[in-house]
């Protein structure tokens, strides 16, 4: 093999140690493709199967090798409350009917990171990103892969030994015009190659910034978005297990209001209900996303009403009526529209008086005359005279 030396304007650089330590040649290629991707690019195993000849099984195995070696770190995040889906510019994503797409509380999304030069991550770097995800808000649970780098685990190791690479019988590759291309400032220790095949759907090599680590968000098929960046320049890429769009935290992320004094329900029990109330209000706006301060006030007022055991369906109905009233005060609207009083159900709603035949029938059988319903506890008589 002869290698031509050239000076391309764009390139993807991979550390020599990463190339030497990875046991799969396909994993090396996949790592290079992830480094090349721009920040926010929708890179999934499914989309890669459409671009390249390798099948889903082979690419999934290569991705697993990268994750196990900490060349790729996955964060699977569960939303605490519902939130609207936003595009790259921070605008609400609308469905076919023109209504904002809402991601429900409890759903999962996945974001992963890859180093700009393909170096494996350390425990300190993973802990830094873990803290950034929590700081973004609206996080109920986080799963970290590889698990040994989870900052919540005690005594975890930073890196697992790479699988042993098979030694070929003949390591020679033939005569080369230049056995070793000299290191360059942008590509230390790696020969620069002019190959590459940019297409309209794939950015040119290095356009995402070869010296930073990108971060992107994607949906998980099982079900806060991530904000903030580490101190060092970084670069990241996205994968999602059930194709979906990019996410960021908005109204629901600012929802951690203080609990109402004397509330009769636990805050964790109220959070899903509050999310339904906010969702009803946002859907009623027909694509116009409210100010964050309005959503915060709405959440606080919804918490107050739900803590009083108001039915969540009734509170959500009131929230959905607010856009047509000209104001956004949920408590003001609720003051004039309390929930209807529960209607007593026949049979078990009236206690048994003890003077009639039984709690099941509630009839009186006098010695003379026909049996009749008990006037004290028979529901038919009681409710008819109420």
Report the distance separating Cα 93 and Cα 86, nearest Å: 5
**Nearest partner of 20 among 138, 134, 118, judged by Cα:** 118
10-31 burial, b if ≥16 CB within 10 A, otherwise e? Answer: ebbbbbeebeebbebebbbbbb
Provide the 10 A C-beta neighbour count for residue 89. 5
Q: Is residue 203 part of a domain?
A: yes
**pLDDT for the residue numbered 370:** 76
Report the distance separating Cα 115 and Cα 112, nearest Å: 10
Quote the number of domains for the chain.
Answer: 3
**pTM exceeds cut of 0.85:** no
Same domain flag for 221 and 91: yes
Q: Strand 372-373 vs strand 363-364: parallel, antiparallel, or unpaired?
A: antiparallel
Tens-digit pLDDT profile for residues 287-322: 777 888 888 899 999 999 988 888 889 999 999 898
Q: Is residue 180 part of a domain?
A: no
**Domain span at 383:** 344-386
Q: At residue 64, does pLDDT exceed 60? A: yes
* 8 A C-beta contact, residue 47 and residue 96: no
**pLDDT for the residue numbered 166:** 53
**Nearest partner of 119 among 40, 226, 232, 240, judged by Cα:** 232
Same domain flag for 358 and 330: no
Same domain flag for 58 and 110: yes
Provide the 10 A C-beta neighbour count for residue 184. 14
Same domain flag for 327 and 272: yes
Same domain flag for 278 and 348: no
Same domain flag for 311 and 353: no
Same domain flag for 97 and 206: yes
Same domain flag for 331 and 360: no
Same domain flag for 41 and 92: yes
Q: Is residue 158 part of a domain?
A: yes
Averaged pLDDT for residues 153-172? 50
Q: Is residue 141 part of a domain?
A: yes
Q: Is residue 244 part of a domain?
A: no
Q: Is residue 5 part of a domain?
A: no
Q: Is residue 316 part of a domain?
A: yes
φ and ψ of 357, to 5 deg: -70, -45
Range name among 43-47, 88-92, 216-220 with the lowest pLDDT average: 216-220
Report the distance separating Cα 359 and Cα 347, nearest Å: 8
Q: Is residue 249 part of a domain?
A: no
Same domain flag for 227 and 290: no
At 219, list the tokens: 């949906």
Interior angle at CA 377, CA 375 and CA 378, nearest 5: 75
């Amino acid at each position: 093999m002869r290698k031509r030396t050239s000076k391309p304007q764009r390139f993807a650089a991979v550390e020599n140690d990463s190339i030497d330590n990875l046991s799969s040649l396909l994993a090396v290629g996949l790592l290079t493709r992830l480094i090349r991707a721009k920040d926010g690019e929708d890179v999934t195993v499914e989309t890669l199967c459409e671009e390249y000849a390798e099948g889903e099984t082979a690419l999934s195995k290569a991705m697993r090798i990268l994750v196990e070696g900490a060349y790729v770190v996955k964060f699977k995040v569960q939303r605490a409350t519902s939130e609207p889906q936003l595009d790259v510019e921070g605008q609400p994503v609308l469905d076919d009917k023109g209504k904002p797409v809402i991601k429900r509380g409890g759903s999962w999304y996945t974001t992963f990171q890859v180093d700009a030069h393909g170096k494996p991550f350390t425990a300190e770097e993973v802990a830094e990103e873990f803290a950034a995800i929590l700081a973004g808000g609206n996080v109920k649970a986080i799963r970290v892969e590889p698990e040994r780098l989870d900052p919540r685990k005690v005594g975890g190791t930073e890196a697992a030994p790479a699988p042993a690479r098979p030694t070929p019988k003949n390591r020679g590759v033939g005569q080369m015009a230049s056995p070793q291309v000299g290191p360059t400032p942008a590509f230390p220790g790696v020969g620069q190659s002019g190959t590459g095949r940019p297409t309209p759907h794939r950015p040119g090599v290095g356009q995402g910034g070869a010296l930073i680590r990108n971060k992107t968000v994607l949906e998980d098929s099982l079900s806060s978005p991530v904000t903030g960046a580490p101190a060092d320049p970084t670069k990241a890429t996205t994968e999602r297990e059930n194709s979906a769009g990019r996410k960021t935290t908005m109204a629901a992320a600012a929802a951690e209001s203080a609990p109402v004094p004397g509330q009769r329900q636990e805050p964790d029990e109220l959070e899903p209900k509050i999310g339904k109330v906010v969702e009803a209000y946002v859907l009623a706006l027909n694509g116009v996303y409210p100010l964050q301060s309005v959503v915060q006030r709405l959440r606080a007022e919804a918490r107050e009403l739900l803590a009083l055991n108001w039915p969540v369906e009734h509170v959500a109905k009131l929230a959905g009526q607010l856009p047509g009233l000209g104001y956004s005060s949920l408590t003001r609207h609720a003051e004039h529209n309390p929930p209807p009083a529960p209607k007593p159900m026949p049979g078990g709603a009236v206690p048994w008086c003890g003077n009639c035949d039984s709690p099941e029938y509630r009839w009186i059988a006098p010695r003379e005359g026909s049996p009749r319903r008990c006037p004290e506890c028979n529901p038919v008589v009681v409710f008819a005279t109420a």
